[in-house]
Amino acid sequence: MAGSVLVTLGILSMSCLTSATAWTWSGAAFALLGGGFATVMVTATGTVVGDAPPGYAGVVGGLKQTAMNIGPTLGIAVAAGLMQAEAFAAASSPPLKALAGTAHTAQPALLALAAVAALGLLPGLLLPAQPTPNARHPDETVATSPSRAAET
């Protein structure tokens, strides 16, 4: 949840940047985004692979990695399309020609991406607050299985 919040805040911060924004504010926006993505990626990998049945962790990890590659690819394509449409609209109206090609043309795309990132919070709300008391780490389950005990 914290990672998704940081990603959303980072994207929202980027939507407010202009060419006159100090580099420290730009750096802070990118730091929020980077911290959020790092948290989400590590947590997603640990959760998905850690909960996979023994012997399927590789397949599950591969599927997770594929999803993590397809999602940003589609997101970048949609954002680029939105930015291009906004730049075209800004360039076609004389008073806004000065804004074409600046950070202002990215704002609608970034706001749309922030909304999508915020949607990631919804599945997170369905997760249990704490692990179940009987849950064990997947390595413990594998190590104590009868077939594992016979091998040692």
Give the model confidence (pLDDT) of 65-84 as tens digits.
888 888 778 877 877 777 67
In a domain, 71, yes or no: yes
The tally of domains found in the chain comes to 1
In a domain, 141, yes or no: no
In a domain, 143, yes or no: no
The pTM is what?
Answer: 0.62
In a domain, 38, yes or no: yes
What residue numbers bound the domain in which 40 lies?
A: 2-126
In a domain, 132, yes or no: no
- CA pseudo-torsion sign 83, 85, 88, 91: negative
pLDDT of residue 141: 52
In a domain, 133, yes or no: no
In a domain, 79, yes or no: yes
- Whole-number Å distance between alpha carbons of 79 and 2: 24
pLDDT of residue 121: 86
pLDDT of residue 32: 93
Give pLDDT tens digits for 81-122: 776 766 666 666 555 554 444 555 677 778 888 888 888 888
Which three-class secondary structure string do you get for the chain? CHHHHHHHHHHHHHHCCCCCCCHHHHHHHHHHHHHHHHHHHHHHHHHHHHCCCCCCHHHHHHHHHHHHHHHHHHHHHHHHHHHHHHHHHHHHCHHHHHHCCCHHHCHHHHHHHHHHHHHCHHHHHCCCCCCCCCCCCHHHHHHCCHHHHHHC
In a domain, 63, yes or no: yes
